[in-house]
Structure 1
């Protein structure tokens, strides 16, 4: 028997078999990451949709009759803020899978179709994420990102509706009277609402100055 011939019964690994297996596993991995990304994207949309439905229902009820209390709109502000916190948590999960998909697209598929890539270390980065999974962004970054993209508009809509509800909707009454809640004077209610929105707008404005990778920013 020649020296370069394998012993009887031993399997000779062909390079073509290795490449084919690698390509197959990579394709399966990419499809799995796409499925996870789509699932978490749908969860984000569900949270936003529920927030929009709640806002629409509250505004409809608040302006149906002058006897309906105005502070239901303030409760709506609290509810939208709760949805924002929930969505920020979900966005951190979504960003994990989205980032892996972008690494595969910018690394493997860009090199496959364009013959070049600006992410030569994409294999190492994905491997590190698989070995030690962790979030790519903090909770604060996720919170301010979703605030800027969706929830700031909803909160400002509620603010405008509440202002109209305690002023032009009841023109015969003083705003101090209409803004009051039981024994809480209207001036204090206005101050608390103004302070809340000052914090919200400041967070949105400050976070917009930072660098944050979005789906098409690259």
Structure 2
């Protein structure tokens, strides 16, 4: 029992010493920043990998769908389902990526930026408390809906609409005199039912991507916030 108390006291003293020694604290924060930056880069790579899978699968299916008039048009709808699955995976990965990016941004905005120009002051006066709390109990910073909306706006909305246009063109190009309603049928489902389902799906993803809301993601590049370098000399 006594040894546990002594260990706790020693660890508390160690924390106090690190906090009081500026050089030691700077070294610790520097190592922490490099570690968080490495984690952010790793998760950024995972996001890019998911996008690559989406584009590869999409290109392969489109190539096969247009290779012969005998190939069914609904294979493009299978591609829509596959790309949507990758969207869900990437949205989940983006939430993890945002955890490490938010920490990196805390370092950049309050440590590096203040060191370069102390006259501007700290962005968050309690940033070390925030970072300490996040290290003690890591939590995601954004909702799944916000993550999905972000990935839709950045990448997946364009991919899905390319698939929609490809499906419409595939149905009409090889209709051979049939009406769109007949040519778009899938099994026992009429072309009208298929078109309604596709329309509802695209309406939903469009609402998700464009729905106005306060964003919790910190440190993103955002439109309307361009800032040019000041030219001197």
Normalising TM by the smaller chain, what interval?
0.7 to 0.9
Distance 1:168 1:72 in 2: 15
Aligned residue for 1:69? 72
- TM-score normalised by L of structure 1: 0.87
State the SS of the aligned residue for 1:167: helix
State the SS of the aligned residue for 2:21: helix
Aligned residue for 1:80? 83
Aligned residue for 1:113? 116
1:150-169 matches, within 5 Å, as 150-169=155-174
Q: Could you give the per-residue CA deviations for residues 40-73 of structure 1, whole angstroms, max 9, x where no partner exists?
A: 0000000011101111111111111100000000
State the SS of the aligned residue for 1:68: coil
Return the offset for 1:191.
1.1
State the SS of the aligned residue for 2:173: coil
Return the offset for 1:171.
4.8
List alignment gaps of at least 5 residues for structure 1: 1-13
Whichever of the two has the greater Rg, that structure is 1
1:140-179 matches, within 5 Å, as 140-179=145-184
Aligned residue for 2:100? 97
Aligned residue for 1:57? 60
Given that 2:145 and 2:208 are in contact with CA atoms closer than 8 Å, whether structure 1 keeps it comes out as no
Aligned residue for 1:6? none
Aligned residue for 1:129? 134
Given that 1:66 and 1:170 are in contact with CA atoms closer than 8 Å, whether structure 2 keeps it comes out as no
Distance 1:182 1:73 in 2: 15
- TM-score normalised by L of structure 2: 0.82
Task: Let me know the Cα RMSD of the aligned residues.
Answer: 1.8
Return the offset for 1:148.
1.4
